[in-house]
Amino acid sequence: MKSTNIQLVLIRHGESQWNKENRFTGWVDIGLSEKGCHDAKQAGKFLKKEGFVFDCGYTSVLKRAIHTLWIIMDELNQTWLPVKKSWRLNERHYGSLQGMNKCDVIKKYGAEQVKQWRRSFFISPPQTDADEVLLLRKDPRYVNLNFKELPRSESLSLALNRILPYWTHEIFPQIKNKKSLIVSVHGNTIRAILKFLNNLNDDEIIDLNIPTGIPIVCEFDPDINFSFIKFYYLRIN
């Protein structure tokens, strides 16, 4: 029987082309691989089988997340669903590591250092060149942002600081209005949200890895001021 609690579904986009190539992606706008499209299609089929019907969708401004949501909505026969996009839901910025093969980075810097860059809460990867920020500033998705809002690199903590205002002022009010939401975003976007909701400590967040294409259900209790209860994966067979 479906829970009477308010449910929010988070999903990391399906496999991207750079996931397939084992490269750091961050804010680089890379599309889904063939497997990634299949991941999203299977997630949509499973959500339909489980009886999920949504009122609104959210995504970043990066196409791997947007296309994942499109495919899921198509499988749910909900392509008419209103969708809101925000740069605040982007993946964390991986600085100068973006585009580099992860194995090559490990060979250069060592496995422990790379683990800290990827998984820790406060440690940022090396910053990208300032010219890269100037290129972002010309992108129509970011042209209206303050220059200081555009990152050269982000720790998970900095990413959460970017994400949290959007959660507080846009997504959570919808939950309190008892809306059923699906949020198609990125691994570190989800890690940041779950750290905040579940009050995970620094050791717990290091061990939290979000798989591609697997829906995560977050439950909120409407009888206790919509307090967060738990999250769990919907395993696709």
- Residues designated as active site: 13, 91
Give the CA distances from residue 136 to residues 4, 40, 141, 188, in Å, rounded to whole numbers and listed in that order.
43, 28, 8, 20
Sign of the C-alpha dihedral, residues 221, 225, 229, 234?
positive
Backbone angles phi, psi at 70, to 5 degrees: -55, -45
At residue 57's C-alpha, the angle toward residues 118 and 39, to 5°, is: 55
Amino acid at residue number 25? T
- Nearest-angstrom CA–CA distance, 170 and 17: 30
Strand 6-12 to strand 181-185: parallel, antiparallel, or no bridges (unpaired)?
parallel
Backbone angles phi, psi at 17, to 5 degrees: -60, -35
DSSP string for 135-169: HHHHSTTTTTS-GGGS-S---HHHHHHHHHHHIII
H-helix or E-strand containing 183?
Answer: strand 181-185
Residue with tokens 């090559």: 104
